[in-house]
Amino acid sequence: MPQSPNAADTLAWAYYKMGSYNSALPLLQEAVKKAPQNATYYYHLGLVYQKTKKVAQAKNSFQRALQLDPKSPRAEEIRRALAELNTPPS
């Protein structure tokens, strides 16, 4: 486990891009624990939770990312992801 939350996030993002969500998850959980004010880490964590069908955790992570940085360039994308998570499957 990298000591730096930035290194953990970077490694987790690489795992995410490769589809290795279960490898990314503990790294991102550690990153948000070490840097709880970093909206990007919460956004990345939300994406991993979304991919692993952990809807409640994904919502919480996305909402936290928006709380921390409501003017983020990703804010609209996060809102779309939240809307998608709130839409019941057909």
Q: Answer yes or no: are the C-beta atoms of 55 and 74 closer than 8 Å.
A: no
Determine the average pLDDT of the residues in 7-36.
98
**Higher model confidence: residue 3 or residue 32?**
32
Instruction: Give residue 1's pLDDT.
Output: 72
44: CB partners within 8 A, 6+ apart? 9, 12, 13, 16, 24, 28, 31
Domain that holds residue 48: 5-86
Instruction: Give residue 63's pLDDT.
Output: 97
Q: How many of the other CB atoms lie within 10 Å of CB of 88? A: 4
> What's 30's domain CATH number?
1.25.40.10
Determine the average pLDDT of the residues in 40-55.
97
Three state DSSP letters for the chain? CCCCHHHHHHHHHHHHHCCCHHHHHHHHHHHHHHCCCCHHHHHHHHHHHHHCCCHHHHHHHHHHHHHHCCCCCCHHHHHHHHHHHHCCCC
Mean pLDDT across the chain: 95
Determine the average pLDDT of the residues in 28-43.
98
Is residue 19 pLDDT above 80, yes or no? yes
Domain count, the chain: 1
Instruction: Give residue 89's pLDDT.
Output: 66
